[in-house]
A and B are shown apart, each in its own frame.
Chain A
Amino acid sequence: MASLQIRPILAALRHHRGATALIVLQIALTLGIVCNALFIIQQRLEHIARPTGIDEANIAVIHNQWIGKYTTAQMDAMTLSDLAALQRLPGVADAYDDYTYPAVGPMAQLSSVRYTRDQPKKTSYAEPYYADDHALSTLGLRLIAGRNFRADEIMVVGDADTQMPPVIIITSDLAERLFPRQTVVGRVVYLGDTPSTIIGVIAHLQVPAIGTHSFAYCAVLLPRRNANFFNNGSYYIVRAQPGQLDAVIRAAPRALLKLNRMRVLDEAGGMQRYSDLREIGYLRDRGMTLLLSMICAVLLAATVGGVVGLSSFWVSQRQKQIGIRRALGATRSDILRYFQAENFLIVSFGVVLGMVLAFALSITLMKYYELPRLPLYYLPIGALLLWLLGQLAVLGPALRAAAVPPVVATRSV
Chain B
Amino acid sequence: MFRYYLGLGLYSLRRNPALTALMIVLIGAGVASSMITFAALRAITADPLPAKSAQLFVPQIDNFGPVNGTPDGEPPLMLSYIDTMALLRAHRAEREAALYPVRFSLVPAEVTHAPFTVQGYAVTGDTFAMFGVPFLYGSDWSKKDDTEGSNALVISRRLNEKIFDGVNSIGRTVRLDDHDYRVVGVANDWNPQPRFYANADIHDVSEVGEAPDFFLPFARAVNQQMTSRWGNFCPADDYSKDSDWPAMLQSECVWISFWVQLPTAAVVQRYREFLDGYAAEQQRVGRFHWAPNNRLHNLLPWLDYVHAVPEETHVSFLLALGLQLVCLVNTIGLLLAKFMRRRGEIGVRRALGASRRAIYAQFLTEAGMIGVVGGALGLPLTIFGVSSMGSFFEPRVARLVHVDVSLLGLTLLTAIVATVIAALYPTWRAAQVQPAWQLKAN
Contacts and interface: CB of A to CB of B under 8 A. Distances in A.
B243 to A, nearest CB: 4
B334 to A, nearest CB: 5
B319 A231 contact: no
B344 to A, nearest CB: 9
A29 interface: yes
Nearest to B255: A230
Given A22-B332, A413-B442, A302 B244 contact: no
B402 to A, nearest CB: 18
A114 B319 CA distance: 43
Interface residues of B, number: 71
B206 A368 contact: no
B37 to A, nearest CB: 8
A164 B239 CA distance: 9
Interface string B376-396: 000000000000000111110
Contacts of A161: 243
Contacts of A230: 227-232
Nearest to A159: B227
A299 B326 contact: yes
A26 interface: yes
A305 B22 contact: yes
A380 interface: no
Among B117, B226, B229, B340, max chain A CB count under 10 A is at B117
A365 B312 CA distance: 11
Given A264-B115, A369-B315, A284 B310 contact: yes
Nearest to A299: B323
B311 A302 contact: no
Contacts of B310: 284
B25 A317 contact: no
Contact of A295 (B33, B228, B338, B429): B33
B19 A309 contact: yes
A303 B115 CA distance: 58
A163 B243 CA distance: 9
Given A18-B336, A231-B227, A305-B22, A284 B330 contact: no
B319 A33 contact: yes
B227 A309 contact: no
B395 A283 contact: yes
Contacts of B103: 231-232
A40 B244 CA distance: 47
Contacts of B226: 231
A109 B232 CA distance: 10
A37 B318 CA distance: 11
B26 interface: yes
Which of B226, B227, B230, B234 counts the most chain A CB atoms within 10 A? B227
A276 interface: no
B339 to A, nearest CB: 10
Contacts of A106: 206
Contacts of A180: none
A370 interface: yes
Contact of A283 (B22, B311, B394): B394
B206, B239, B340 interface centre (most CB from chain A within 10 Å): B239
B116 interface: yes
Contacts of A36: 319
Contacts, number: 181
Given A67-B105, A163-B243, A310-B337, A370 B116 contact: no
Interface string A228-250: 01111000000000000000000
B107 interface: yes
B327 interface: yes
Interface in B290-332: 310-312, 314-316, 318-320, 322-323, 325-327, 329-330, 332
Interface majority SS (helix, strand, loop, mixed), chain B = helix
Contacts of A12: none
Contacts of A312: 19, 337
Contacts of B117: 65, 264, 267
B438 to A, nearest CB: 12
A53 interface: no
Interface string A48-73: 00000000000000000111110000
B29 A302 contact: yes
Contacts of B25: 305
Nearest to A44: B312
A33 B326 contact: yes
Contacts of B325: 29
A120 B66 CA distance: 10
Contacts of B177: 67-69
A163 B241 CA distance: 9
Interface in A116-134: 120-121
A290 B231 contact: no
A29 B329 CA distance: 9
Contact of B425 (A18, A37, A294, A365): A18
Contacts of B244: 160
A313 B315 contact: no
B337 A309 contact: yes
B315 to A, nearest CB: 6
A212 interface: no
B392 A19 contact: no
What are the 10 A-B residue pairs with the smallest beta carbon separation, nearest first? Answer: A313-B337, A306-B330, A160-B243, A22-B333, A67-B105, A192-B239, A33-B322, A291-B392, A193-B240, A284-B394
28 contacts: A22-B330, A23-B333, A26-B329, A26-B333, A33-B322, A65-B117, A68-B177, A162-B239, A163-B243, A192-B236, A229-B231, A230-B228, A264-B116, A264-B117, A287-B391, A288-B315, A291-B37, A291-B393, A295-B323, A299-B326, A302-B29, A302-B30, A302-B330, A310-B334, A312-B19, A316-B341, A368-B314, A371-B315
Interface of B: 19, 22, 25-26, 29-30, 33, 37, 67, 102-105, 107, 114-117, 177-178, 206, 226-232, 234, 236-237, 239-241, 243-245, 247-248, 310-312, 314-316, 318-320, 322-323, 325-327, 329-330, 332-334, 336-338, 340-341, 391-395, 425, 429, 442
Given A162-B243, A163-B240, A284-B394, 10 more contacts: A26-B326, A30-B326, A194-B240, A264-B115, A284-B393, A290-B392, A298-B29, A305-B26, A306-B330, A369-B314
